[in-house]
Structure 1
Amino acid sequence: MTYQQIRVSLDDAVAVITLNRPERMNALTKVLEAELRDAVEQAGRDKEVRAIVLTGAGRAFCAGMDMDELEVLPPDDIRAAQWMRPFDMNRRADYQTRYSYFPAAPKPVITAINGAAAGLGLVMALYSDFRIASEQAVFATAFAKRGLVAEHGIAWMLPRIVGHAHATDLLLTSRKVDASEALRMGLVNRVVAADHLLPEALALASTLSTEVSPRSVRVMKRQLWEAPFQSLGEAVALANAEMFTSLQSEDFKEGVAHFQEKRPARFTGN
């Protein structure tokens, strides 16, 4: 696919995806949605890629859905099969809907939030594995101010990240939250100076690409995102099964060898 509204580049083993509608604060369109999903899926399949960084061009990360598209009525039925059906029977259906597919990617997704993250822009960030914010970042759910509701699973995701009280506040008031408050409530992992944002995200991606086993990262990401649907017993059973397999893997052998030999790891992901 030739991309019109995103940019994709490869930085060593890191796929950097940039939402590229700066004149519209990277507001979502159907074109951008399709391109982003394609880029994430391709990065997930690419054996050379070990981490994904998502950011926005210009002064915003993503201001939500483009209001020009919302003016076209009636809108598509978001319950339609094209948005809601599972696309891969080997993946949990919960993480294959219109915006919830980041957890299904086998690589960690790091969101570098360079500015406003509102509405669906916030939803996308919540489905990431890591959220790093610029000091200039601002967050808002926005839905109540548009006469809408808690869209696309945000009522499920947000309380799991910031707790029920903060989630209720953010959703019902639609108020803006700056980067420092977002950090205090656990909405983001860390806050950095604006000019350090992408280097910080790339440094984290590099750590995930070179210092730890990509196989371990892949399995543990699945464990973390499966856990909300499991009992403790089921989580232990899955861990036991994965442990048995990991002990036979090439990455386990390399993990022991590089420690004993006091040298950098050379993990293959196998």
Structure 2
Amino acid sequence: MSEQDDLVLYEVDADGVATLTFNRPERKNAWNIPMEERFFAILDRAAADPDVRALIVTGAGTAFCPGMDMQRLERNSQPGQTLNLKDRTPMYGRRLLPKPMIAAINGGCAGIGLIQALMCDVRFAARGARFTTAFTRRGLAGEYNMPYVLPRVIGLENALDLLLSGRTFDADEAKSLGLVSRVVEPADLLDAARAYAGDIARNCSPRAMAVMRQQVYGDLDRNFDDALSRSYSVMEYFAGSPDFREGVESFTQKRPPKFEGLPPDFDPLDAVADPFLPG
């Protein structure tokens, strides 16, 4: 294993739950470019693996990810420095990864680390974990599209509060704002996230979850009628499908379902394609 491989650990359990762990505990898992490259490469690997049905993202030690490594920020803040994003991995390139992502936020979560949590579909937080958008307190405006994403998660005023003030808030407030859905004791965090991920990995159709994820994110900025038309396309796509038959039969026979894994070439857009609508 190379030094870069150590920056994000990767393991897959018997249920098909992949756990990705930011692993720079000596720097509180502060983000740097090698960790970024490793993280997105593992996401691509998990997306292509039919045995992986759900993903958990967490951090080693006592932090999730407190943002960009301060050593890099210090270099970038010097006069004459410019920011080159051209060679960076697109931050939201994996937003429509066709598998559910669960964040297990075990500690400090800020800036670009908060972006990684927001990329996940469901967020668990350890009681006592602390959050901040941070940008304005570092002399920065909203980076990596957070001013677009955050209001869609917690509402306009709550998002403006957190973005303008850059204040720190804890896991319980994060839950009250709707930023996380579960707050659990630190010792129970990973077990709780794995129990949730394991349940959906065992009992939910990978194809249905991939399409559902595409529906939700894809329809955020569509009008009602366009979204409804896409929903009809989805209904037609799954009607009579092997997954639908298995879902019904497993229910009537009172047994666990046996859904096939997601093929590497599966495209959820095929299910929502509507000949009368663009993409």
What is the TM-score when the length of structure 1 is the normalising length? 0.91
Query: Of 52, 55, 65, which aligns to 1:52?
Result: 55
Residues 93-128 of structure 1 deviation map (CA, whole Å, 9 limit, x = unaligned) = xxxx73223422110010100000011111111111
Query: Of 136, 139, 149, which aligns to 1:157?
Result: 149
2:265 counterpart of 1:262 = no
Q: Which structure 1 segments of 5+ residues have no match? A: 84-96
How far is the alpha carbon of 1:75 from its aligned partner?
4.2
Pairwise CA RMSD of aligned residues? 1.4
2:6 counterpart of 1:4 = yes
2:228 counterpart of 1:236 = yes
Residues 218-239 of structure 1 deviation map (CA, whole Å, 9 limit, x = unaligned) = 1100001101231111111111
Residues 197-231 of structure 1 deviation map (CA, whole Å, 9 limit, x = unaligned) = 00111011111101111111111000011012311
Residue identity (%) = 40
Match of 2:35 in 1: 32
8 Å Cα contact 1:98/1:152 also seen in 2: no
8 Å Cα contact 1:102/1:128 also seen in 2: no
How far is the alpha carbon of 1:189 from its aligned partner?
0.9
Residues 44-87 of structure 1 deviation map (CA, whole Å, 9 limit, x = unaligned) = 11000000000000110001000111233424323x2x44xxxx
Match of 1:174 in 2: 166
The answer to which structure, 1 or 2, has the higher relative contact order (CA under 8 A, 6+ apart) is 2
2:122, 2:229 → 1: CA distance? 26
Residues 165-224 of structure 1 deviation map (CA, whole Å, 9 limit, x = unaligned) = 111110111111111111111010110000110011101111110111111111100001
Residues 23-45 of structure 1 deviation map (CA, whole Å, 9 limit, x = unaligned) = 11101110000000000111011
More displaced stretch, 67-76 vs 31-40: 67-76
Match of 2:18 in 1: 15
8 Å Cα contact 1:100/1:127 also seen in 2: yes
Query: Of 106, 126, 129, which aligns to 2:121?
Result: 129
Cα–Cα, structure 1 residues 102 and 201, in superposed 2: closer, same or farther, change >3 Å?
Answer: farther
Match of 2:64 in 1: 61
Aligned residue runs from structure 1 range 83-162, under 5 A = 83=88, 98-162=90-154
Q: Which structure 2 segments of 5+ residues have no match? A: 263-279
Cα–Cα, structure 1 residues 243 and 269, in superposed 2: closer, same or farther, change >3 Å?
Answer: farther
Counterpart residue identity of residue 44, structure 2: E
How far is the alpha carbon of 1:269 from its aligned partner?
4.4
Match of 1:204 in 2: 196
8 Å Cα contact 1:103/1:129 also seen in 2: no
8 Å Cα contact 2:51/2:261 also seen in 1: no
2:214 counterpart of 1:253 = no
2:77 counterpart of 1:77 = no
